[in-house]
Amino acid sequence: MDFLKPAGPFTNRLWMTVEPDFEQILKCPYVGRLADGTLPHSWFAHYLSQDVLYLIDDSRALAITAARAYNPDEMYFFLQLAKDGLDIERALHNDFLKYFAIPEAHEKSPAFHAYTDFLLDHAFHAPYPVAVTALLPCFWVYFNTGVYIFNNTVSDNPYQKWIDTYSGAEYMEYTQRFIGITENIGQKAESKISKQMIDTFAEGTKHEFMTLEEAAHH
């Protein structure tokens, strides 16, 4: 599998801005040990149980952003993502937690709480283009992290069932479409909004890193 690339000059600026943070994500212990199969169960249990809670608020932020969309195509797209996020939450809840013998979490940890607060705050209060870029890292950065893990996994990895979720064609197509929408919005944005979009994408990427770092301390 290949990393998803920018769709044009604006998303190229976004990716170049976060490239050092992405490299940091790829070097973090959680990612390396998930790929080589040595990830402690407690780390994985923390991340997966928190991800269930995260997806509920991520879907809420997507739905709020959809309601603010500039056109029906973008509205429909973000509503699709919101629905699919809830479908994934149910699958994690009903299948993956049981499969990996992980108890469900009842409240968010500090890193996941900070991330969902960031998403919801932007969905409600930021200009629409900025709200869009707040949501993009949990697709683009997360997908490319998954590509790295998928390409570097070992045979008989105990976490293979989870690693395989990164390789779905539908998820890749959604992420490509999201990058394309962001490119279109970013190219049309005035410079002040464009700068906010770039800063927000960088902030979201740091939240992606912090959730992984937190899991590595469990």
Domain ranges within the chain, ordered by starting residue? 17-215
**pLDDT 10s per residue in the chain (218 long)?**
999 999 999 999 999 999 999 999 999 999 999 999 999 999 999 999 999 999 999 999 999 999 999 999 999 999 999 999 999 989 888 899 999 999 999 999 999 999 999 999 999 999 999 999 999 999 999 999 999 999 999 999 999 999 998 888 889 999 999 999 999 999 999 999 999 999 999 999 999 999 999 999 97
CB 67 within 8 A of CB 75: yes
* CATH architecture, range 17-215: Up-down Bundle (1.20)
pLDDT in the model for residue 94: 87
- The whole-angstrom separation of Cα 93 and Cα 104 is 8
pLDDT in the model for residue 92: 87
Q: Look-up: residue for tokens 């959730």?
A: 211
Amino acid at position 26, single letter? L
Q: Look-up: residue for tokens 């590509």?
A: 147
Ordered DSSP codes for 151-172: HHPPTT-TTHHHHGGGG-HHHH
3-state SS, residue 85: helix
pLDDT in the model for residue 47: 97
